[in-house]
Structure 1
Amino acid sequence: MKVEQRLWTIEKLIGLKAEINLNPAWQRGPAWKDARRVLLIDSILRDMDVPKIYLRKLPAGGLFKYEAVDGQQRLRAIWDFAAAPIAADKSKAFALNSPDALPPVGGCAIAGKTLAKLEKPLSDRFKAFKIGVGEIVESTNDEITVLFARLQMGMPLNPAELRNADLGPMRNVIQLMATSHEFFTGTRIKDDRTRHFDFATYAFAIGASNGTRDMKSPDLRELQREYNAKPMDEITALSAKVGAALNILAEVDQETGYRIIRKWIFVDLLLLIMQYQAAGKAIDITRFTIAYDAFEERRQQYTSEPDLLLNGRRRDAAPNDRALYDYLYAFRTEGAKAASLQKRNKALAKFFRRVEVR
């Protein structure tokens, strides 16, 4: 890897906006809250040091000249502060609002002001401010992954973001599933900080292991790296298996009265669907949805007091109460452990006994 150190003005970075990709596939989207964006701009106006930005130089002829390896949030905040106001997007041309009014800079007020409303000496100071830029002129994908992980140690990424940054064919296939499959395009699961990628990774882990493998964050990352080294036809076959199960879940999610937004419900239902499909059984969407609704209604009713399910004299006692108790009790150990997954799968199957097409 070869990195050349630069000092670029904010004015130059603004001029390069169209040439810098802030969202390479392995990066996260906007994550900074308003207070942090304001703090950055306030620091710049006061001539304080701000962390260096790392930009990877891309081959000539592409849509972008650079992609952001580190500093995405800082660049976005700078560009948004300098942007023209857009009525439908309050993040653009934001004002320097803070719970505690910001003190003046050099006798000039900044509190509550946008860039356009700052006095000219301050707006000129903002544009002339120099930021350290590490321009990565030679690198491999593996080197970028290592650099990205090291740079984030000051503010750790969540496990899904680290997996998303682990470049390779398996990551690319998971990302494609997370961004294009109808389950994720229609879900109510918010895609905050790569949550769709996280859920899709769990789907691939279930498909690869059939619930026989632990699914904690290190396990998922290890699995992703294992598949990165496998032939593409194996990755494609796994993707087809996952996609077929998600097709069923997408239809169920649109029909049910209990939208699928909880991670372990998502995982447990997918495992059950994959087992039916592996046995060559076609699932009746209506029957499966009815079974899921009945299960989920009961689960929500007793999730905080599962021991009540053992009282067979209750007025609402039902044949599958013991199975529901076993399902809920399995979470007393770690939900990501293979033993818990298998116990839940065995219990859940009792609620879905006649859901195949007849």
Structure 2
Amino acid sequence: MKMELRSKAIDKIYKRRDRIDMPDYQREEVWPISKKQLLIDSILQGWHIPKFYFQMVDKNSFECVDGQQRLSAIFEFFDNQLQLSEESKKKFNASTYNELPDDISDSFDDYEIEIEEIEDVNENELEELFQRLQLGTPLNTAEKLNAISGDMRDFCHEISSANFFENKIPLRNTRYAYFEIATRWLLLEARGIQPQLRFPQLEGFLKENRTFSKESETAKKTTRALDYLDQAFPEKCKVLRSRANVLSVCMLASRIISHGIDRNTSKKFGDFIQSFFDDLAIEVEKGAESSEKDFLKYQQSISSGSASGQSITTRLDILSKKLARFSPEFAPIIGVFPNVESETINDLNDLAEDTKERIFKINKKYSGQNGEDLIKMTTKVSEGLTLLNQPCKSSTSFGNFIDSLYFIFYEGTGSCKRLSSPPPDFVIDIKNIRTIIRHDIDHGKKTDTQKKNIKLADAFKKYSGKVSIGECSPEEILTTQIRLLIAAVKFLADL
């Protein structure tokens, strides 16, 4: 075992919090608010606090071996979820992090904590270190659960020894880590999302299921999801660095399998997970400057109590929503889960509003330089802007939506005359999609018509995954609308 003492500013730790796993099983104790407030007050006054112990999982990720409660309190304060004590409020003239005077918030950001980084350690050495640090702390959640005999406990061990756990995630299986994840997963599959997922709930679940059949629907569904996950990741998925993320991905796979989505989608599922967590790391590091609030919301659900039912629901709904628009095969998820559909509609409203605001800003700048709007506010354009946030679930409503985009981006720019040459791909895509939806193009030479049909179908397929609107389910039409608006925002941002 090798240990190296480092000092790091807490704002840098906060910006990279997605790379630090803080397992719920580490301690049963949950700090009261008063204890958290005392820690924050100590930091604000520049007083020394005990050092932290991080185990290096790989070059860019760590597990907090000791100091989880302190780290959680710091993150909660950064997120404005933890208020200062009444005494501290008077002392610093603020209640939350955002209200701190600039000089005090700068000092808080720059406050350095000491971290012992541990590497080249085996499981026995890590367990001995943990026990010494805790000075005889009782068994953790996973170790106590392991003492409850029965069929369910044995099945959880079987799940935790599957190839996905053993070879596809970067987490070390220290102190029954995989078993603890599997037990949480099985409880959620059997009973649904609970208000809390701590030791009392897990203990009751194992005791009530001492007799359990592997032929049960819960067992079969979990096993099918494990097979799907194993196929999704041909190699170790290095972005799955925390237990909360592994559990969320397991549950997402269960959603897919349970609702009849083709198992041949496993590769795209793996691609989505890699993409999601890569983007998460980027947006979390941006912090308040990020425009992708879903990623910040996702990370916050881990930093401030990952075991609560609300946090689990938040993560699963965000993953489901993002997956549904990642590839058309996953669009049916929207129709099955009400939360996912309502969140998707909210995103649609936000994208439509963003599109309008960007157009108004662009027109103001363009007219100041050229004496006219880039996108002329004709009656059709004005009407089109009001229709962008109307959810499309039929060919009729989608046709009206495409008309709106056509009037705004093609006709509104003078048939692209006020845009750069050659005409932008996005605007040509809109023109082609409208042609295939609104016009009969079966005229002229047969070979020419076929080529034109293929070209137009390719434009629609680029956003929908299908060659025609008739092949799309209502959910697929809605996700196609979302993708087109995302493309519209990007097009406007690049102008």
Tell me the TM-score normalized by structure 1.
0.48
Higher-RCO chain (CA-CA 8 Å, sequence separation at least 6)? 1
> Which of the two has greater helix per residue?
2
Q: Who wins on radius of gyration, i.e. which is larger?
A: 2
Q: Give the TM-score of the pair, scaled to structure 2.
A: 0.36
